[in-house]
Amino acid sequence: EAGVVQSPRYKIIEKKQPVAFWCNPISGHNTLYWYLQNLGQGPELLIRYENEEAVDDSQLPKDRFSAERLKGVDSTLKIQPAELGDSAVYLCASSSGTSGGAGSTQYFGPGTRLTVL
Amino acid sequence: AQKITQTQPGMFVQEKEAVTLDCTYDTSDPSYGLFWYKQPSSGEMIFLIYQGSYDQQNATEGRYSLNFQKARKSANLVISASQLGDSAMYFCAMRGLSNSGYALNFGKGTSLLVTP
């Protein structure tokens, strides 16, 4: 079974430029998460999707960040314009549910390491 | 609110020895799940083991076991027979299973180095 796929793996951009990250979750997983991981920290949730609906985006900086999950499968996270402080790893995860127990385990992709110059 | 504390920023262990990585937590949620993830230098977060707050027995997965002490609010990861490939960052995480949302709350991680 294929895991969570993310691209690109690395991205270097200049500040004020736009950037987009793509995520393909594990087949059949209807819950998708985007996390931000700063250096030396654990990941922090940006947004959670149930199918195509964003059900928790309280931590997403909506002035510059946007996300979409068309057709409830792939998802794209965008930053426009990027700032120096956005340099971090952006992780995508998926799970088969949120009802609890081991079935709510989130499986992560390899992440996109963003460097803003 | 939920909080995960990992007090060991770095740990060393010799190959084939066992090592315990500490994790304490705080939550007001009566039902919750505890997770451990491994993050090698490649960056991917790899799920290792899960413990539910109402599970009667400590979870085990191969060389990984979780020493769950609910009264002390601790969920330490034990890795037996360490291997060189176990060198990585290890994150403890939890999520509420009732009304506190579905995001995983992570600790700051422990860096484990396995030496020959």
Separation of alpha carbons B102 and B29, rounded Å: 12
d(CA B5, CA B20) in angstroms, rounded, equals: 15
Whether the predicted pLDDT of A39 surpasses 80: yes
For chain B, the average pLDDT equals 93
What's the gap in Å between the CA of B51 and the closest CA on chain A?
8
pLDDT for residue B102: 72
pLDDT of residue A103: 67
Is B50 within 8 Å of A111 when comparing Cβ atoms? no
Q: Do A31 and B102 make contact, defined as CB atoms within 8 angstroms? A: yes
Contact residues on chain A for B106, CB-CB shorter than 8 A: 41-44
CA-based torsion, B54, B57, B59, B64: positive or negative: positive
- The answer, yes or no, to whether residue B99 has pLDDT greater than 60, is no
The shortest C-alpha distance from B5 to chain A (Å) reads 11
Q: Which of A114, A94, A115 is nearest to A105 (CA)?
A: A94
Nearest to B42 among A44, A106, A110 (CB): A110
Between A104 and A109, the more confident residue is A109
Give dist(CA B26, CA A101) in Å, integer. Answer: 18
Q: Which pLDDT does position A99 carry in this prediction?
A: 65
pLDDT band of residue B21 (cuts 50, 70, 90) is very high
B45 inside 8 A of chain A by CB: yes
Model confidence over B37-84: pLDDT tens digits?
Answer: 999 998 889 999 999 999 889 999 999 999 999 999 999 999 999 999
Q: Residue B2 pLDDT > 90, yes or no?
A: no
Residue B20: what pLDDT?
98
User: Which amino acid does the sequence have at A4?
Assistant: V
Q: Would you state the structure tokens that stand for residue B61, as one six-digit string?
A: 């997965």
